[in-house]
Structure 1
Amino acid sequence: MDDAFHEHEFLKWIAQRNDGPSARLPVGPGDDAAIIVRGEGADLLLAMDVVCEGVHLEAGPDLPERLARKAVRSNLSDIAAMGGVAEAIVVGLELPVDATDALARRVMEAVREETRRFGVELAGGDSVMRPGGLSLGVAVTGRPHRDAVLRSGARPGDLVLVTGALGGSILGRHHDFIPRLEEATALVDLGPPSAMTDISDGFLRDLSNILEASGVGAVVDAAAVPISDAAAHLAARTDMSPLEHALHDGEDFELLFTMDSETAGRVLKEWKLMTPLTVTGKVVERGLWLQTGDERKEVAPGGYEHGRP
């Protein structure tokens, strides 16, 4: 029996043990953010991520700034994935036992730079000193731009689309990306998507989350997947192809979404933002398939998961 911790099984276990949807919490564990009904006014979106030295980022002279950027922006990306507008954050700062006051202030100055850049408020938080490296947890609140977009709305016949280009984020983009907040609200206005998430664990892994939540499958066209220059550069020094990096690397923080073909056609025609949109495949009844020329092969989601090599 495998007693090791595996993140995705653990998250499923949490969702299964949750009391389920309620009038106050119609969407809980299992999507990019929870939805909390506030009564009067817009519903509340709530998400959280933790970024740790030695796990998500390596040590270096600019670690405080990289840590703050990644922790804040990954949370904003979750709000974007729900078709939402970010409003405020609270932070939990974990400092090494030998940390200086200057280190703590550098982290929080960098957090404030992020809140100013993306128009959100720093509402509070906590700090602690402990053995180990630097860590920053961030929780973000927001509101749906219109109706929230869930992972569970994809239907057979829908097209699968992504923003931007994929793969090779470890070369630097994983802590210096721009959360697709503007793109998300534009998609909601023009669409909306039938389902949406952001790519944190890998294109195929995060697509499989949509497919599982929606009870459907998908065929991905290998020739249509937008491959970043970084994926090509990384492939030159690994045993993976640029396509494999694009499908599996993760931390692209691009939006991955589905739309019926008529809506997708209209969105592609009317799209005004600089970030490109690419049709990468189609939703089908079951399975996760990669189409390469005339060959269609069922594939595993792969991607990144805490607790797996």
Structure 2
Amino acid sequence: ELKLNTEDISAVQVIRRSVDARSKNPIFRARAIVYLNEEPVDIYSPINFKHVKDNKKVLIVGMGPAGMFAALRLIELGIKPIILERGKDVQSRRKDLREIQQFGNVNPDSNYCFGEGGAGTYSDGKLYTRSTKRGDVNRILNILVQHGSQKEILIDAHPHIGSNILPKVVQAIRQTIIDCGGEIHFDSRVTDFILDGKKMKGLIVNETKEFLGDSVILATGHSARDIYYLLDKHKIKLEEKPFAMGVRIEHPQKLIDEIQYHSKERNPNLPASSYNLACQVDDRGVYSFCMCPGGIIIPASTSSEELVLNGMSVSRRDSPFANSGLVVSVDEKDWEK
């Protein structure tokens, strides 16, 4: 007990909330700050971005999360970002996504992976990292709220924006970059590097147009294979990186709720439940990944000759199905086999 006079409590501010479903009866957990005779400090803290139109320039290849947040960070540091994105803006992407969904026609430059916002724009928007090099997570969450995301992501243990809200957030980030003097060029596929000895001075776009800058950031994601060929062509060092691959599995959401919440019917106050599984098989890690409660499975191919699947949920997570990736770790030793 705090042994406080309730009249002295001026505010109670929740700073973290989660559901603990490990026991038979799920528990709502919350961490809060109690203010005594003082005004609460808002956990939302927007950032003031600078105007950088005539400043030093850095070229960024790709407008997924890495490219967008690199641009915003450069603006904070007083540097002008110029983003080159092979895909289309977030609205124009919709037509190409319908072509995939209805007819199986894949535009190699505009699909679920390529285009403004990258793969996450139209496939979920979960906010988490397995990396131990986490950086300032709260800063990222605040920037997302500043650009239209729901404030709940600042306190949720497992924050999620949703594919219905993310496009608007991405558009707002684009507008901030432009308003601050940055540039964004869509339908701009990098086809070569401009090198001066060992220094990269610029980029060739769509075979003809030159862009020059003081530095270059490659934020191209995992499916821009042509960039790896370019790096190899110019004898730029490449290094293998461990990754994971596997399949996507789907279940009735009601089944997952029954297992996780130990009840035939989910309490209406509880969210659609999720899970996280991991084990070792023959000294190799096998684990669930990108679990989507109340979600759907979508086609995420970047060419017509491949089949790639992903999962997503809208903010309500109200689909009758749940899905998850089930993946196996692949490391450098496997390349030698």
The TM-score, its normalising length taken from structure 1, stands at 0.23
Which structure is higher in helix share? 1
User: Greater relative contact order: 1 or 2 (C-alpha under 8 angstroms, separation 6 or more)?
Assistant: 1
Greater gyration radius: 2
The TM-score, its normalising length taken from structure 2, stands at 0.22
